[in-house]
Amino acid sequence: MLLSHMVAQFNQVVRVRSLVLHTKEVPLGAKDIKIFINKPALSFSDVEDAVEPEAVQVLAISEENVAQGLHVQLRFVRLQRVNSLHVRFRSFGGAET
């Protein structure tokens, strides 16, 4: 099963420095992601065509990061006061979602 959207709600404000994406099936790992913060009522249509600065960050994830579970460093300055974190996985191993 491929997860196309992940939401994390926090009880208090947090700082986010990095993400770790890891899978045993590397060819199916996430390749492109968009990160949104502090928008609890976000829908798929809201994020589909979003680009920076609406999306806090748009990232291309390497197979090495997914295979080894390496930290993907984020723009820490933009992620200082996070109440909710939305991660939209746009493609997996070449397949768009």
Query: Using 50, 70 and 90 to split pLDDT, how confident is the model at 3?
Result: low
Q: Look at residue 69 and tell me whether its pLDDT is greater than 90.
A: no
Residue 79 has pLDDT above 80, yes or no: yes
String of DSSP letters for the chain? ----EEEEEEEEEE---EEE---S-GGGSEEEEEEEES-TT--HHHHTT--TTTSSEEEE--HHHHHHT-EEE--GGGGSSEEEEEEEEEEETTEE-
**Average of per-residue pLDDT values in the chain:** 80
Mean pLDDT of 13-36: 84
Token pair listed for 77: 């300055």
- Domains parsed from the chain with CATH numbers: 5-96 (2.60.120.470)
Residue for token digits 């994020």? 47
Is the pLDDT assigned to residue 77 strictly greater than 60? yes
